[in-house]
Chain A
Amino acid sequence: MAARLLRGCRWARAGPSWAPPLAAAAGLGLWPCRGSGSGSGSGSGSGSGSGSGSGSGAAGGAELAPLLALGFSEAQALRLRAAPPGRDPQRRLRAAAQLLLLGLSAEAALRALEGCPDLLRLTAGQLEARAGYLRRLGLGQGQLPRVLGRCPQLFSLRRKQMEAVVRLLRERCLFTAEQLTEVLHTCPGVLLREPHHLQLHFQYAYFRMGVQQKAMVKARLFGTPFAELRSRHVFLERLGLYQTPHKGQTQISNPKLKAILHLPEEDFLASLARSTPEEYEVFKKLLAREEEEEEEDDDDEEEEEDDDDEEEEEDEEEDRDALYAEGDNNSDSRGTRS
């Protein structure tokens, strides 16, 4: 079974000099393999073929060897041992092995373990299960390791929270399954976000900017922080270069969301906004202050100030209940449909 799993894996190509890392791990008795025995000696012999066990110190050598057997280079193995400190080395080994099995490269697995110590709390089974869930969401063979490598926190995320976000994106934001997969692939961090805030982000782009889901996916909307989107959009709006689309009224052609989000600031200012960096700096400060005061006003429930810039929007949207539904703070419930 291990061999079958390895068939798609890159180490299968490496040739006979590489003892399949799994076999080595199995040989060490670490792997909860169903079929294989517990021949402890057989695997380690082949593992030492990389000839590094002798180099490191006596105590470290015992730990490094299995890591090297898995496929890490010496430097990587040292790093792995160093971080996170004080943890059970067996668990570290198991986690590293599972990550490699899922298709991450050695470097990616290393970074994941360094960056996200929570991984070590999870069993290999849990890691596998989470990967399975993501696979069911549509992430394919090549995409899954990339997603997991970029965002290892996905492993330790609570299942309910992740499901809430997925539900939000499918049912409230009305992304299709393909679009959802694409979003997960390009911005895996979206699953980590709080659903309420995510919905606000989506609603801003959909209603206030008039952008459709297709464009959102292409522009990787959720990859950019909401504050940056808002400041660039409001800047363009107040310059008169962006108008919320209205049915039946001739509008200027708005700049594309992709251009707004992806241009670096100098290019954005030079080509889209046609403005200067000094003005944009001052504008950002002013906008931040406006937002602060809006929040204070909402908290105090005073309505004396008419300062908000929402005067521009008077959209008459179609009756789409899902899009209109207020985000619920309790991510588990189905929420109230307005």
Chain B
Amino acid sequence: MAALGGGGRAVTLLRRGLVLGPAPRRYRYKKKWAATAPRVPSTRLALQSFDMNYGLQLKEAWPSVRVSLLCEQKYGALVNSFADADRVAQELELLNAVDFISGAAQKAQRLQQDSAVEQAGRGSASREAPGERWAVKQAETPPLLSAPITSNIRCYTFPRGDITRFRPARPDTLGILNYYLMDAASLLPVLALNVQPDDFVLDLCAAPGGKTLAILQTGFCGHLAANDVSISRTKRLHQILNSYVPKQIRETVCVTSWDGRNWGELEGGTFHKVLVDVPCTTDRHSVMEEDNNIFNRRRSKERQMLPMLQLQLLVAGILATKPGGEVVYSTCSLSQLQNEYVIERAIEIAETEYDISTRVEDLSHFRALFQDTFSFSSDCRLGELVLPHLTANFGPMYFCKLHRV
């Protein structure tokens, strides 16, 4: 990527928030009016590109991921805690759906108990042979494991191998909808964010609003700033907030339409938690839908500039975090260029340009809790990657947590 090559040019571009062209138009392929089908549809171009890149990256695992991307995806039903949540949960359980978050919480408790027992055991052993046994490393209980996952978020999915669909959400007596259908893997970045009571949270690319809604479901948000550069997508965000969230809670949300890359300069160091869910090549959408497909030849420049855009957004997100705060970066693509590469460069730039040191949080324990529901990649050197699998057709979803020191 030429744009990310020389350090000097990158710095200039980052410093002054150079506008890289207007906001992209909607590239809608209008089948009714088109005289002929596109000669090579964008979906096929996308698939060819993925075959080349992911074939090398995932090697043996790629065919399994490929067939899952080309088949119908699996949804999860995010229960709206502002509606009659218990009744909704009961209805969903009658259908044999399972709340995977509570399942993970139970698993976390069990593991904690086991490790506590282990520590006690070790403690007694060391009393017997103090010299040698004490060299044994203490079991570290990582923060995400010790803080139980009582995020109040409930999301139901059908078990592995079950392809039943959820019915569309229905409004209850107050007019708000009972659940929100989304890709269940999208909840993992929100869970990793681990919102604590009275946190200030920033969602830098909030539209269309699934993750924003999930953050609100925790009930812990002191203040939520939801931003998206596109005004039309922000409208969708408003719609979702209106349909799901009662007025009182909506007042704690501030929806804006600024360019997220400038956020660092506008409000640096003000948020406890920042979620940066950047625009990406949306792998699943790109191989299935012709509309708004980023692999359309007219958008190839936009697509090539994506990693640069993602980098800028992440750095802005880091700048917006308070010291001691946390940033979660997430994409819905498998590409290493958009995932690990961006994280590494952002850490570097934050260090060199802004004198901010960040460290990557280890999420492997977090991953272990959700291994029954999702299929994770084991080759990720930074962050976690949910791979689509026919029995668990969620994702792709990459997320990585950074802690600002």
Contact = CB atoms under 8 A, between A and B. Distances in A.
A282 B63 contact: no
A281 B289 CA distance: 25
Contacts of A285: 163
Contacts of B31: 303, 306
Interface stretch (A35-43, A58-66, A102-110, A238-246): A238-246
B72 interface: yes
Contact of B43 (A275, A283, A287, A311): A311
The size bracket of the interface on A is 20 to 34
Contact of B389 (A235, A279, A303, A314): A279
B311 interface: no
B265 interface: no
Interface string B115-149: 00000000000000000000000000000000000
Interface string A264-295: 00000000001100110111011101100000
Nearest to A286: B71
A309 B70 contact: yes
Contact of B63 (A239, A290, A314): A239
A312 interface: yes
Given A274-B63, A275-B64, A283-B390, A238 B163 contact: no
A286 B163 contact: yes
Q: How large is the interface on B (under 10, 10 to 19, 20 to 34, 35 or more residues)?
A: 20 to 34
A307 B51 CA distance: 20
A282 B70 contact: no
A311 B295 CA distance: 15
Interface in B145-169: 160-161, 163
A281 B44 CA distance: 26
Contacts of A314: 40
Contacts of B51: 240
Given A282-B161, A286-B72, A240 B63 contact: yes
A238 B391 contact: no
B261 interface: no
A314 B45 CA distance: 13
Contacts of B161: 278, 281-282
A238 B71 contact: yes
Interface string A196-239: 00000000000000000000000000000000000000010011
Nearest to A306: B290
A275 B389 CA distance: 11
A311 B41 contact: yes
Interface in A289-319: 289-290, 303, 306-307, 309, 311-312, 314
Nearest to B389: A279
Interface string B286-323: 00111000000000000000000000000000000000
A238 B289 contact: no
B290 to A, nearest CB: 6
A309 B390 CA distance: 16
Given A286-B72, A303-B31, A306-B289, A239 B391 contact: no
Given A238-B70, A306-B31, A314-B40, 14 more contacts: A235-B67, A239-B63, A239-B64, A240-B67, A278-B160, A279-B64, A279-B67, A281-B161, A283-B390, A285-B163, A286-B390, A289-B163, A306-B288, A306-B290
Interface of B: 31-32, 40-41, 43-44, 51, 55, 60, 62-64, 66-67, 70-72, 160-161, 163, 288-290, 389-391
6 contacts: A238-B67, A274-B60, A275-B63, A275-B67, A282-B161, A307-B288
